[in-house]
Amino acid sequence: MLALLLLCAAPAQAHKASDSYLSLRVQDARIEGQWDIALRDLEMAVGLDGNGDGALTWDEVRGRHQAIAAYALSRLALANEDRACPLRVTGHLVDEHTDGAYAVVKFDAACAATVTQLAVDYRLLFDIDPQHKGLLRLEHASGASSAIFGPDSAHQILSVRDAPRWRQFGDYVRHGVWHIWIGFDHILFLLSLLLPAVLVHRGGAWEGRATFRAATLEVLRIVTAFTLAHSLTLTLAALGVLSLPSRLVESAIAASVILAALNNLWPLLQRARAVVAFAFGLIHGFGFASVLADLGLPPGALALSLVGFNVGVELGQLAIVALFLPLAYLLRNGTFYRRVLMAGGSVAIILLATVWLAERALDLKLMT
């Protein structure tokens, strides 16, 4: 049921939901800013495709620079000690992130006095997409910190001092939880492995596992293998030890979803799902690392922030498992679970992941 709901709710971009990346650097009373906003989001908000052919060009984006700047800066306000810091656009760029092209708005702000506590009011896209999140990285002389903005946390006051270690850890835990929940391809890969975890394949047919303990142990094997693998490559990639091309990683992740779901229809590796989870978990770790690269790691607390992000990913993953396992176990012996959820859900996952694979490998846009 979770898999089918995710298929209905999944946006056009398979890996990430709507995010923007806001970087602020505070130097005394002056603030330098850079705001990366997805072109697909700006198309919805201000319209970029002038000729309506479905393909954005640099000239079309450049022709809308003023509209982009006006829209963005009308939805961001900075203040120090209750006094506004006026914003001024200083440049425009286009940059590539792992999930597509982004408009980059560069700006600065002049405050009346040295910034001690920065009040940030963030309202971008909330009226269009309530699921949108703004990811802020704040740099200052004492170090760096981060924050996540959403409709229920649009106004935050951030200290321009070295954040306590526990707070930086907590920030990255929240980032990790959020990004596993919006990583639809990671979730569908995990669900593809978990769907048969409450079943046993005997005599050419599926039958329910005898006890909840047996089902739980199987789930633990799969989740532990997946966790160990993606934690390993996430750490190595985040530290710059290993690197793979983004298109290759994203294509391989889509392929892993297809293969895991196919194994539910033709269970050739029924006893080796933990091995499959580990093998493909190595690739998924590079996908998580691309998200962490967009967020950045504070140099003074690199290890702690990396651990915090990983812990957040695991907490988000465990929340999915905790919701899935009891429901799946209760339904395991029924035809509905085996035919509709197991077989039908796996077919739906294969179809969606095949579209993702074509989009990523061939640089196509098949879904809108």
The interaxial angle of helices 246-265 and 345-362, nearest 10 deg, is 160
pLDDT in tens, 252-270: 999 999 999 998 898 877 6
pTM: 0.69
Question: Hey, which of 13-27, 60-74, 93-107 has the most confident mean pLDDT?
Answer: 60-74
Annotate 104-116 with DSSP letters as a single string. Answer: EEEEEEE-SS--S
Q: Where are the beta strands (DSSP E) in the chain?
A: 19-27, 30-38, 76-80, 83-84, 87-97, 100-110, 117-122, 133-140, 143-149, 155-159, 199-202, 205-208
pLDDT attached to residue 354: 94
CA 233 to chain centre: 17
Assigned token pair, 22: 């806001």
Instruction: Report the run of H or E that residue 44 belongs to, with start and end.
Output: helix 39-45
Structural contact between residues 111 and 125, judged by C-beta atoms closer than 8 angstroms: no
Comparing 219 with 179, the larger pLDDT belongs to 219
pLDDT attached to residue 6: 42
For CA atoms 317, 321, 323, 324, the dihedral sign is positive
Q: Where are the beta strands (DSSP E) in 61-132?
A: 76-80, 83-84, 87-97, 100-110, 117-122
pLDDT in tens, 278-304: 999 999 998 888 777 766 666 566 777
pLDDT attached to residue 305: 78
Assigned token pair, 111: 């405050």
CA-to-CA separations, 220 to 169, 224, 321, 325, 361, in angstroms, rounded: 26, 6, 9, 11, 32
What percent of the residues of the chain are helix, what percent strand, and what percent coil, each to the nearest 5? Answer: 55, 20, 25
Assigned token pair, 313: 């990913």
Q: Report the side by side order of strands in the sheet with 133-140.
A: 87-97, 100-110, 30-38, 19-27, 133-140, 143-149
pLDDT in tens, 317-338: 899 999 999 999 999 999 899 8
pLDDT attached to residue 65: 95
What's the full length of the chain, in residues?
Answer: 368
Q: Which residue has the tokens 């760029």?
A: 93
Q: How far is the C-alpha of 299 from the C-alpha of 147, rounded, in Å?
A: 17
Q: Is the pLDDT at 1 greater than 60, yes or no? A: no
Question: Hey, which of 99-113, 148-162, 262-276 has the most confident mean pLDDT?
Answer: 99-113
pLDDT attached to residue 365: 63
Q: Which residue has the tokens 């704040």?
A: 138
Phi-psi region at 28: left, alpha or beta (left = phi > 0; alpha = psi -120 to 50): left
Phi-psi region at 197: left, alpha or beta (left = phi > 0; alpha = psi -120 to 50): alpha
pLDDT attached to residue 298: 64
Q: Which residue has the tokens 């093998």?
A: 279
pLDDT in tens, 150-189: 898 899 998 886 556 677 788 788 878 877 877 788 889 9
Which candidate, 293, 284, 276, places its Cα nearest to that of 313?
284
Assigned token pair, 10: 């999944």
CA-to-CA separations, 226 to 80, 166, 346, in angstroms, rounded: 45, 27, 19
